[in-house]
Amino acid sequence: MGKLLRLDKYLSDMNVGTRSEIKSWIRKGRISINSIPCLRPEEKVSTEDEISLDGQRIIYERYLYFMLNKPAGVVSATEDKRDKTVLDLIDTDRRKDLFPVGRLDKDTEGLLIITNDGDLAHRLLSPKKEVDKVYYAKINGRVTADDAEAFLSGISIGEDKPCLPAKLDIIKSSNHISEINLTIYEGKYHQVKRMFEAVGKEVIYLKRISMGGLTLDSLLKPGDYRRLTIDELKQLNKITLREKEY
Ligand code: URA
């Protein structure tokens, strides 16, 4: 049997109305448990019970998980005085406790997970988990095998410790603009830009294409989002719940 919780809490978690609206609906007999009207807000229900308002089923879904293709120009925050935030892009009446898992810079595009599952977010962001993040970037100037070697041996970006070894794949190298994929296992502030700065180069376009084995859906245009599938969620849990292998 699923977890037991109060009827009014169940309805409030699902954001169907304010606390006082919910109380009043219950008193008026508009809420049913397994087709039987229930007049007690404190009645204990489980997620296996069928709860309905005026005959309309309200399914309990504690956590929401979205994959967003973050566009450039919006900030990775829940609210901001000046700028549009990634949360402004998510159209749901249950957005009150949603937040982005980590940050992408304002000018960075790509994969950002939006959820209200603090536990999963914590695991994905924990330095101990060393969750892989893959970025596609365009770089001003020629990216070389020496850069790849420097990144692989752990480059210093002016912090106490050097970066963890990172994998640089050169897609196209030219004196003008190079294209690369870079896999990193941590999330230091402006990390990709600072790693290239450390080898005297500049990132001119940056997009995260994958995180924790979850790949950005190519059908999502910048600003678009969709729910994670069960398999994608399992993948994120698998990668963050396993013991670190040495
Ligand atoms: N590294 C950066 O420099 N910026 C980002 O947004 C993400 C990683």
**In a shared domain, residues 201 and 136:** yes
pLDDT at 14: 87
**In a shared domain, residues 25 and 54:** yes
Q: Is 166 in the pocket of ligand 1 (CB under 6 A)?
A: no
pLDDT at 179: 98
Mean pLDDT of 73-91: 95
pLDDT range class, residue 95, cuts 50, 70, 90: low
**In a shared domain, residues 195 and 174:** yes
pLDDT range class, residue 3, cuts 50, 70, 90: confident
**In a shared domain, residues 164 and 227:** no
CATH assignment of the domain containing 165: 3.30.70.1560
For the chain, the domain total comes to 3
In the reported structure, the alpha carbon of residue 76 is separated from the centroid of ligand 1 by a whole-number distance in angstroms of: 11
Which position among 105, 147, 160, 224 bears the catalytic label? 105
Q: Is 13 in the pocket of ligand 1 (CB under 6 A)?
A: no
pLDDT at 94: 66
53: alpha, beta or left? (left if phi > 0; alpha if psi -120 to 50): beta
Cβ-contact 123, 129 below 8 angstroms: yes
Residue 52 lies in a domain: yes
Q: Is 169 helix (H, G, I), strand (E, B) or coil?
A: strand
The parent domain of residue 54 ranges over 4-58
- Which of 139, 135, 79 minimizes the C-alpha distance to 108? 135
40/34 Cα distance (integer angstroms): 14
107/157 Cα distance (integer angstroms): 20
Mean pLDDT of 75-104: 91
CATH assignment of the domain containing 54: 3.10.290.10
Residue 16: phi and psi, rounded to 5, are -80, -20
Long-range contacts at 124-130 (CB < 8 A, ≥ 24 apart): 124/211, 124/212, 124/236, 124/240, 125/101, 125/187, 126/240, 127/186, 128/244, 129/239, 129/240, 129/244, 130/164, 130/185, 130/186, 130/244
Question: Residues, the chain, total?
Answer: 246
Residue with the nearest Cα to atom 3 of ligand 1? 190
Residue 246 lies in a domain: no
pLDDT range class, residue 85, cuts 50, 70, 90: very high
Mean pLDDT of 187-196: 97
Q: Is 240 in the pocket of ligand 1 (CB under 6 A)?
A: no
> Which H/E stretch holds residue 120?
helix 118-125
User: How far is the CA of 40 from the CAs of 7, 33, 44, in angstroms?
Assistant: 8, 11, 9
pLDDT digits (tens, 9 = 90+) for 5-56: 999 999 998 888 999 999 999 999 999 999 999 999 999 999 899 999 999 9
**78: which DSSP letter?**
S
Residue 30 lies in a domain: yes
CATH assignment of the domain containing 78: 3.30.70.580
Q: What is the pTM of this model?
A: 0.87
Q: Is 132 a catalytic residue?
A: no
**In a shared domain, residues 87 and 196:** no
**In a shared domain, residues 122 and 136:** no
Residue 86: phi and psi, rounded to 5, are -60, -30
**In a shared domain, residues 115 and 140:** no
